[in-house]
């Protein structure tokens, strides 16, 4: 051995070991490992925390609502003829320092010929998903796909189509039973 090994030959590191007054022993029923999975662990992701939400679809009013089916402002407009079409929109967040972007809604004021308005709305309807129809101010409202005109009212649509007759049960007295007494 070399000269450096002679220096470390008498050195003992027993003072670094922990000192126990009694020898520590585990009870015989305790195990150093677990045979079953722990009930909950903070490192395991919680799967049932929130389920993924489904994409929604535009609702077509079929339950008696006529809101949004007539022109309120202006003279002409577009009305959706079918349902279950997704309409995507840009996010509502505005990036800082990049301007406000393109306008989303346009309005024309003044006297406009109906043919020009029909052509403009036809071109706009091709850009949107779904089937649309051109409507003028004063046209009847729509419930589902039924126009409320020519005697068709909201009350007539809500009424039952057939008269429901309930079966009439007539109460007839049962024949008296005779008890045979000896």
**Residues 59-88+111-153, CATH architecture:** Alpha-Beta Complex (3.90)
The domain limits of the chain are 59-88+111-153
Q: What is the mean pLDDT of residues 21-47?
A: 64
What is the DSSP code (8-state) at residue 82?
S
Q: Is 48 left (phi over 0), alpha (psi -120 to 50) or beta?
A: alpha
In whole angstroms, what is the distance from residue 26 CA to residue 79 CA? 79
Please state, in angstroms and as integers, the Cα–Cα distance from residue 76 to each residue in 71, 113, 116, 125, 175, following that order.
Answer: 7, 11, 11, 13, 75
Q: What is the structure's pLDDT at 23? A: 59
pLDDT bin (cut points 50, 70, 90) of residue 8 is low
Q: What is the mean pLDDT of residues 109-135?
A: 85
Contact 60, 83 (CB under 8 A): yes
What is the DSSP code (8-state) at residue 15?
G
In whole angstroms, what is the distance from residue 21 CA to residue 106 CA? 88
């Amino acid at each position: 051995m070399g000269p450096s090994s002679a220096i470390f030959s008498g050195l003992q590191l027993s003072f670094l070991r922990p000192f126990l007054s009694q020898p520590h022993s585990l009870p015989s029923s305790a195990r150093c490992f677990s045979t079953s999975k722990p009930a909950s662990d903070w490192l395991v992701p919680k799967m049932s925390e929130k389920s993924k939400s489904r994409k929604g679809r535009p609702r077509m009013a079929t339950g008696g609502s006529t809101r949004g089916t007539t022109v309120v402002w202006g003279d002409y407009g577009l009305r959706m003829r079918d349902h279950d079409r997704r309409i995507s929109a840009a996010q509502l967040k505005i990036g800082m320092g990049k301007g406000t972007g393109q306008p989303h809604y346009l309005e024309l004021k003044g006297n406009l010929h109906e043919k020009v308005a029909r052509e403009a709305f036809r071109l706009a309807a091709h850009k949107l998903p779904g089937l649309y129809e051109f409507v003028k101010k004063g046209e009847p409202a729509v419930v589902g796909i039924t126009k409320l005109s020519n005697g068709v009212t909201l009350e007539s649509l809500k009424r039952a189509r057939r008269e429901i007759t309930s079966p009439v049960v007539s109460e007839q007295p049962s024949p008296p039973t005779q008890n045979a007494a000896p």
